[in-house]
């Protein structure tokens, strides 16, 4: 095998990797592995997506991804294909990175795509390879993958591994290149050696690569996401109490976060968690607990409270509009579940905006990246180019996503354009005194005192 210089500056053994699935996880992982110096083929059944990728067009918004992808394609380390068999043939490792959406009716993760990929991989294996599940999957899935491959091709020489991802949308490349840890579940030393070779560019720079058993790796992913969702939901519930007792949740969060046992991450009150991971993974963990007669009572409550948080945000907007949004024009700033992504999955906006439209409001929306998905998901709204155009003759402004361009708005300019200068700041971006000084007559946020309502 060749020995190129990887991105860490150290000599590493080039591995041949097939990445099955070019969604968020698969594409980011494939691009980053190629930047380590490995030979990577990303596979997808959608020919239009493959054509886009071959043209250097990234179908998702992730800062820095397009440039890194083009760099490694140009270097000859990264390619795209619709031919799974050709990609898998001769591969050292085959990563399964297909979708595992929540199954309707029972909350389970839908493993249809994972098992279908496993069957195809089985027929395409030409020598020893490690089949790695990168998708987030319930406990026991990797053993099921092993059974599926063995049944489809009894002569196949392979091992399975679990390698859950911990990427934050909007910061995925940095997370991949500078991880808190890499978790790998394996069953034997041979599979561990292959996985260590793949991640050697990270271990050489002292990033921890944790080897464990299959079930522990699967559980680490769910436990980590459920815990983070719990932190978010806890501070949102504390915020609701702060509003009743006159405390400031930003000060409460700061005071809590200074405790090293707690930390300050994920303690920012807002309109509830969303995205591709937390909603799906909390539901899946709750279902796993039910299936094993060990109810995840805390996680089940987190899911319930998070839904209530989103509905409580609707009440805030209605209240600032005088108790009725019928006929009111409302400018909504941000619809993606977080900044620096175009991901709309389970975003609070998908609960809040339809309720406002259903109440008779005329809703104008601004988002730097959300329109591509949002037009189909949010019927009945009008899209504006910027916050100032959206605010023209509006009766209220609602901040739903904390994009940087919404953090430094000219509040006086906004207030002068509005029919009724009122604001529901659901990300606590602005200080109430600054909003009032700019000419707003009413303001509400999360877990803090407002005015004029």
Angle at 306 between CA 350 and CA 99, to 5 degrees: 60
For the question of residue 42 being annotated catalytic, the response is no
Residue 268 is assigned to a ligand binding site: yes
Residue 11 is assigned to a ligand binding site: no
* CA dist list (Å): 281 to 112, 286, 386: 17, 8, 34
**Neighbour tally for 109: CB within 10 Å:** 24
Residue 49 is assigned to a ligand binding site: yes
Three-class DSSP category at 94: strand
Residue 338 is assigned to a ligand binding site: yes
H/E element, 256: helix 249-257
- Residue environment code for 324-358, b if the CB has 16+ CB neighbours within 10 A, otherwise e: ebeebbbbbbbbbbbbbbbbbbbbbbbbbbbbbbe
Residue 274 is assigned to a ligand binding site: yes
Give the Cα separation of 204 and 211 in Å (integer).
16
Residue 308 is assigned to a ligand binding site: no
Residue 282 is assigned to a ligand binding site: no
Q: Which of 32, 42, 242, 277 is catalytic?
A: 277
Closest C-alpha to 363, from 321, 400, 338, 396: 396
Residue 416 is assigned to a ligand binding site: no
Residue 38 is assigned to a ligand binding site: no
Residue 345 is assigned to a ligand binding site: yes
Residue 267 is assigned to a ligand binding site: yes
Angle at 372 between CA 268 and CA 100, to 5 degrees: 70
Both tokens of 275, joined, read 């995205």
Torsion of CA 218, 83, 169, 172, to 10 degrees: 90
Residue 129 is assigned to a ligand binding site: no
Residue 167 is assigned to a ligand binding site: yes
CA contacts within 13 A on the Cβ side of 125: 25
Three-class DSSP category at 340: coil
Q: Residue holding tokens 């069957």?
A: 119
Burial level of 388, CB count in 10 A (0-12/13-18/19+)? Answer: middle
Residue 389 is assigned to a ligand binding site: no
Phi, psi dihedrals of residue 332, rounded to the nearest 5°: -110, 120
- Would you please indicate which residues are annotated as catalytic (active-site) residues? 277
Q: Could you list the residues known to form a binding site for substrate, using ranges.
A: 166-169, 221, 266-270, 274, 338
Q: Could you list the residues known to form a binding site for NAD(+), using ranges.
A: 44, 49, 100, 136, 169, 280, 345
Q: Could you list the residues known to form a binding site, using ranges.
A: 44, 49, 100, 136, 166-169, 221, 266-270, 274, 280, 338, 345
């Amino acid at each position: 095998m060749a020995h190129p210089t990887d991105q860490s500056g150290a000599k590493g053994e080039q591995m041949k990797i097939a990445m099955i699935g070019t969604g968020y996880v698969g594409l980011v992982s494939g691009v980053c592995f190629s930047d380590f110096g490995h030979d990577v083929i990303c596979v997808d059944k959608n020919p239009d997506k493959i054509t886009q990728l071959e043209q250097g067009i990234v179908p998702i918004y992730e800062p820095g991804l397009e440039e890194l992808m083009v760099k490694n394609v140009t270097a000859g380390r990264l390619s795209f294909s619709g031919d799974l068999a050709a990609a898998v043939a001769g591969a050292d490792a085959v990563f399964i990175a297909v979708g595992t959406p929540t199954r309707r009716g029972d909350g389970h993760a839908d493993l249809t795509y994972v098992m279908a990929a496993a069957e195809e991989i089985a027929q395409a294996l030409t020598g020893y390879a490690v089949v790695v599940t990168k998708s987030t999957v319930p406990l026991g899935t990797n053993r099921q993958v092993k059974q599926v491959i063995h049944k489809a091709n009894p002569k196949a020489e392979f091992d399975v591994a679990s390698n859950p991802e911990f990427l934050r949308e909007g910061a995925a490349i940095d997370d991949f290149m500078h991880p808190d840890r890499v978790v790998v579940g394996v069953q034997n030393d041979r599979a561990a050696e292959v996985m260590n070779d793949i991640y050697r560019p990270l271990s050489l720079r002292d990033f921890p690569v944790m080897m464990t058993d299959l079930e522990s790796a699967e559980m680490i992913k769910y436990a980590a996401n459920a815990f983070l969702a719990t932190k978010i939901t806890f501070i949102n519930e504390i915020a609701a109490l702060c509003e009743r007792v006159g405390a400031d949740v930003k000060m409460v969060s700061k005071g809590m976060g200074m405790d090293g046992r707690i930390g300050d991450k994920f303690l920012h009150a807002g309109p509830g968690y969303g995205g591709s991971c937390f909603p799906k993974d909390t539901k899946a963990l709750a279902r796993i607990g039910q299936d094993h007669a060990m109810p995840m009572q805390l996680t089940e409550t987190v899911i319930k409270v998070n839904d209530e948080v989103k509905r409580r945000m609707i009440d805030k907007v209605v209240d600032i509009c005088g108790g009725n949004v019928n006929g009111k024009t409302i400018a909504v700033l941000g619809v993606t579940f977080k900044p620096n992504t175009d991901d709309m999955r389970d975003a609070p906006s998908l609960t809040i905006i339809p309720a406002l439209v259903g109440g008779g409001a005329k809703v104008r929306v601004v988002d730097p990246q959300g329109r591509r998905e949002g037009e189909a998901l949010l019927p009945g709204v009008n899209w504006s180019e910027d916050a100032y155009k959206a605010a023209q003759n509006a009766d209220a402004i609602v901040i739903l996503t904390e994009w940087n361009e919404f953090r430094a708005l000219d509040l006086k300019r906004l207030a002068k354009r509005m029919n009724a200068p009122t604001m529901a700041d659901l990300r606590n971006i602005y200080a109430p005194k600054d909003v009032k000084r700019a000419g707003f007559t009413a303001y509400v946020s999360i877990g803090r005192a407002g005015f004029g309502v």
